[in-house]
Every structure is written in C-alpha cells, then in structure tokens.
Amino acid sequence: MADDPISGQADSPEARRYNRIRRWLGIADFVVGFVFLVVLLATGWSEWLRDLSFRLGLQNYSLSLFMYLVLLLGIGKALSIGLEYYGFRLERRFKLSNQRFGSWIWDETKAFLVGLVMGSVVVELLYFTIRQWPQHWWMLAWVLFMGLFILLAQLAPVVLFPIFYKFEPLENEDLRRRLVVLSEHAGTRVRGVYRWKLSEKSKKANAALTGLGNTRRIILADTLLDNYSPEEIEAVLAHELGHQVHRHILKSILVQAAITFVGFWAANWALHYAIDHHMFDFDQMSDFANLPLLALVSVVLSFLLMPALNAYSRFNERQADRYAFESIASIGPLISSMNKLAEQNLAERMPSKWVEWFFHSHPSISRRLAAAEEWGRTQNMHPHI
Ligand SMILES: [Zn+2]
C-alpha cells in the first residue's frame, strides 16, 4: 500500500486537530473502562458489590444479578460521563453540531436505559446457562447470543434507531426512480429508503444500509438529502446498494459469529483458570462477581481484533465503492460527493498510515478518491472535482 496514488488536497490543521482529539477521547474511554474492570477484580470490590446486590435483590439470584448490573453500569457511567460531555462539547466547538445540552442529556439517559435492558437480557441468559450447564454453558450461551444478535440486527431500524432519531419514507420521486433503475441493474430489491432526520443532532452527513430480511433498508441523512445534487445522492445510493449486492451485513454476522465463538471459549477458559488458581474470592462459576472477568475477556479480544475487523470493513467499503463506480453513469458526482462529505464531516483525508490501519473502518478519502479517479481514467471519462 506504500506507493498508492494519493489524491486530493492536504488536511486543514482544524481537521487534524479535531480527529486527533476524537481519537484520544476514544482511547481514554477504553482505558477508563479497562482500568475499572481490573480494579473491580483486583481489589475485591466486585465481591463487595455482589453482596450489596444480594441485599438489594432480596436474596433472589436473578433480581440480585440485575441489581449488580445496575450498580456496575451506573458506576461505569459516572466514570465516563466526563469524557462523553467533552465529546459533546467538541462537536459544538468544531461547529459540527448544534444539539442542546438538554437534548444531549436525554439521549444519554435513553442510551443508558437501552444498554441496561440489553445488558440485563444478556447477563441473565449467561448465568442461566452457567447454572444449568456448568460444563458446556459457553456453547449454548454462544448460540443464544447469536440468536439475540441476529434479532437485534433485524429489529434495530424499527425499534432501536427510532429511540434516538426520526425516520420517514423518502418521498422524492426522482430519487426513487433512480434507485429502482439502480436496483434493477443490480438484480436486487430494496425494501425501502428512509429519510433520517440527523439534522436535529448533527451537521454531519451520513448514509447506511441497515436491517435484515424485511427490515432491510437504506437510510439517508437529511443533511445529505438537502445539500447534495440528485446525481451525488444517486452515487451514495449506489455505494449502499453495493453493500447489499455483496451481502456485507450477512457476512459481518458470520464474522461476528466466529469471533464470539472464540470469545465465549476464552471466557470459559479464563473463568476456570481464575477459579482453579484461586485468583479471586469467587470460587464458583455461577458467582456473578466474576462478571468483570468475562467483560475483560471481551474487551481485550475486541481491542486485539480491532485492526483486523477494520481491515475487513475497509475491504467491504472498497467493494461497495467499486460497485458504485460500475453502476453510475459518470464518476464525477461520486467524486464530488466524497469531497463534500469529507468537508462537511471534517474528516481526515490523509490520516497517517498507522491511524488508518488501527482506527479506520473506511479507507481514507484520499485513497477512495484516487480509486475513483483511476476508474474514471480507465473509462475515459473526465472527472470534475
Ligand atoms: Zn459503505
């Protein structure tokens, strides 16, 4: 990749500063979470919280487990809220958002409650399998977890996203017609295109393919729909359709299934190791004071796999881009839409190589532009930037 053609103008100091701060915020958030889990285990505070939970939960196992999760997530939130507030201020400082404080707090509250509901379902199932099948709990837990994961992927566009944003079916006839032509060309069906009211929270633009089966849909931010030409929006649609044609959501679920299988196996191993070596005060698999250890396994695994998962995502993005090149009449609007998106989102066009390798789920704009321009040249077209 060293001598890839790089295209486009250099990054402004502002874009570099904004992205650097965001990266450090992400790293700080990760470190706070990691240290929190280690401290809980190393100091025995996890056992203390478990005892408190049993008192709060009236000695009922499931209720006490729920109370333990409430305490864990509550303390975790208290530790990270400062960083999150800084992130909220950052978006305003760089004029990327005009969200008000009250609206932000409301979003935070909703996110906490959603996390608590989903977390409860997962941990209750987890310890249910541990108590019922102490030997092979992790395989059953994996099957149940993947079932939940697939259900969530399907329900997300209709249940989860509407908690935070408003969506309405796209009513622009010209765009609908363009999409029908594109999807006929692709030999695939698009179940719906929705206008995503992102402008209430952000000035950035975005688009995505979401859902599974009958909830599969393309969502387009109003910040994009209102400021881009029909040809530019068509180029974005073509990219999202590329994700669908290449079945990226299904493939990502399969990748997720493989990773979670290893994750549950590792969690089981870590739990046995800790108990056999008397590392902590908990000496039973079913003692939920060991939950921070399970969380730690998942955090460490996600961290180690992040570069590989991002590389896989970048591969998918290049595939979707290539699909877009092939299906639109002219490469010019695609190039101008990429430039506009980079500017509007204050994206780093040319991040350093290691930053792109570790953090970026999308190839840098400079690489995507270079690929588009190269395609334009081979097609004997003349891109207008
Ligand atoms: Zn994409």
pLDDT digits (tens, 9 = 90+) for 106-130: 999 999 999 999 999 999 999 999 9
How many angstroms does the Cα of residue 174 sit away from the middle of ligand 1? Answer: 23
The answer to which of 5-14, 106-115, 192-201, 240-249 has the lowest mean pLDDT is 5-14
Q: Ligand 1 center to residue 206 CA distance, Å?
A: 10
pLDDT for 184 equals: 81
Q: What's the N-to-C CA distance of the chain in angstroms? A: 24
Average pLDDT of the residues in 96-110: 95
Give distance in angstroms: CA of 101 to centre of ligand 1.
Answer: 31
263, 298 contact by CB (below 8 A): yes
The token pair that represents 295 in the structure block: 């969380």
Distance separating alpha carbons of residues 341 and 180, to the nearest angstrom? 24
| Mean pLDDT computed over 228-236 | 93
Ligand 1 centroid to Cα of residue 237, in Å, is 10
Residues in the chain: 385
CA distance 291 to 287: 8
pLDDT score of 348 more than 60: yes
What pLDDT, on the 0 to 100 scale, is given for residue 8? 52
Tens digit of pLDDT for each residue in 264-291? 999 999 999 999 888 887 888 999 999 9
pLDDT at 4 over 50: no
Strands (E), 279-371: none
Question: For residue 219, what are the β-bridge partners?
Answer: 194, 208
d(CA 53, CA 63): 8
The residue-averaged pLDDT of 300-307 equals 94
d(C-alpha 280, C-alpha 291), whole Å: 12
Which are the contacts of 113, defined by CB distance < 8 A and separation ≥ 6?
A: none
301 has pLDDT over 70: yes
Please give the distance, rounded to the nearest whole angstrom, from the Cα atom of residue 313 to the centre of ligand 1.
9
What percent of the chain is modeled with pLDDT above 90? 78
Cα separation of 127 and 14, whole Å? 48
Residues 6+ apart with CB under 8 A from 42: none
Measured in Å, residue 207 CA sits from the centre of ligand 1 at 8
Q: How confident is the model at residue 382 (pLDDT cuts 50, 70, 90)?
A: low
Tokens of 286: 């079913």
Compute, in angstroms, the gap from residue 317 CA to the centroid of ligand 1. 5
Predicted confidence (pLDDT) at residue 241 exceeds the cutoff of 50: yes
The rounded Å distance from CA 71 to ligand 1 centre is: 37
Average pLDDT of the residues in 69-97: 96
pLDDT surpasses 80 at 381: no
Share of the chain above pLDDT 70, in %: 96
Sign of CA dihedral 246, 248, 251, 255: positive
CB 323 within 8 A of CB 238: yes
Q: Tell me how crowded residue 147 is: count the other CB atoms within 10 A of its CB.
A: 11
Q: Which burial class, exposed, middle or buried, applies to 101 when counting CB atoms under 10 A from its CB (0-12, 13-18, 19+)?
A: exposed
Q: Would you place residue 371 in the very low, low, confident or very high pLDDT band (cuts 50, 70, 90)?
A: very high
Q: 190: how many CB neighbours lie within 10 A of its CB?
A: 19
Q: What is the pLDDT of residue 216?
A: 87
